[in-house]
Structure 1
Amino acid sequence: MSRLAEFRKLEQTLAAQLAELEAMKGSSELQKEIEFETKLRDLLAKYGFSLRDVINLLDPQANRRAAAPVAAEKTPRRARQMRRYKNPHNGEVIETKGGNHKLLKEWKAQYGADKVESWLA
């Protein structure tokens, strides 16, 4: 796309968004919400409260629900165990912590996954 075409496309998008913004400014619903927010913030300032205080008054458990997932993410994962496979056909030994080992994949393709898992030493 040429720079001029890209410019005109962005210009049209901007004009559409400005028209939508003007339509919203005239909306009575938006005016009511703005008025409510203004009065609420004035009331909170008058009594020295914050929005967080109001949320804690209305829903004391909200803070605990928001903090719980963060704590769950910080728990470390359990380390994988070293697994040792011994091929009975040629005596080769593989030590791996995961299933993404090249030779292990070849063995599973050749002999079958169930058979290879039985070779755990």
Structure 2
Amino acid sequence: MSRLAEYRKLEQQLAAQLAELESMKSDSGLKKEMEFESKLRALLGEYGYSLKDVINLLDPQAVRRAPTSESKTVSRKPRQVKVYKNPYTGEVVETKGGNQRTLKQWKTEYGADIVESWLTK
């Protein structure tokens, strides 16, 4: 796309957004919300309260309902140890994940499907 075409496209998008903004400015519902917000913020500033203080005053249970960062860190069950035995060398590898060095070497050498068939536990 040429720079001129890109410019004209952006210009059209801007004009559409400006028209939408103008139509919203005449919306009485939006005017009421903006007036309420400005009065509320002025009142909060006058009394030195924050929005959190007001929420705690109006709904003290809200703090208990809000998810905390601690509840998000639920530990998952530990991985089980898998034991692979190479039938060619007799070497045994115990791992909890597939990122073990020897296991990776075996998978590149023999193929992942073959190595998975060596799983004993």
Please name the residue that 2:113 is paired with: 109
Where do 5+ consecutive residues of structure 1 fail to align?
none
Give a deviation string over 1:82-109, Cα, whole Å, max 9, x none.
6542223541333544124432584651
1:38 aligns with 2:42: no
- The structure with the greater share of residues assigned to helix is 1
CA distance in 1, matches of 2:18, 2:30: 16
The 8 Å contact of residues 94 and 104 in structure 1, kept in 2 or not, is answered as no
The normalised TM-score by structure 2 is 0.69
| One-letter amino acid of the counterpart of residue 58, structure 1 | L
SS of the equivalent of 1:55 reads helix
Q: How far apart are 1:56 and its partner, in Å? A: 1.0
CA distance in 2, matches of 1:104, 1:96: 14
What does residue range 73-84 of structure 1 map to in structure 2 within 5 Å? 73=72, 83-84=82-83
| One-letter amino acid of the counterpart of residue 18, structure 1 | L
Note the aligned Cα RMSD (angstroms).
3.2
Identity of aligned residues (%): 59
Q: How far apart are 1:63 and its partner, in Å? A: 3.2
The 8 Å contact of residues 108 and 116 in structure 1, kept in 2 or not, is answered as no
- The size of the alignment, in residue pairs, is 116
Where do 5+ consecutive residues of structure 2 fail to align?
none
| One-letter amino acid of the counterpart of residue 97, structure 2 | G
Please name the residue that 1:99 is paired with: 98
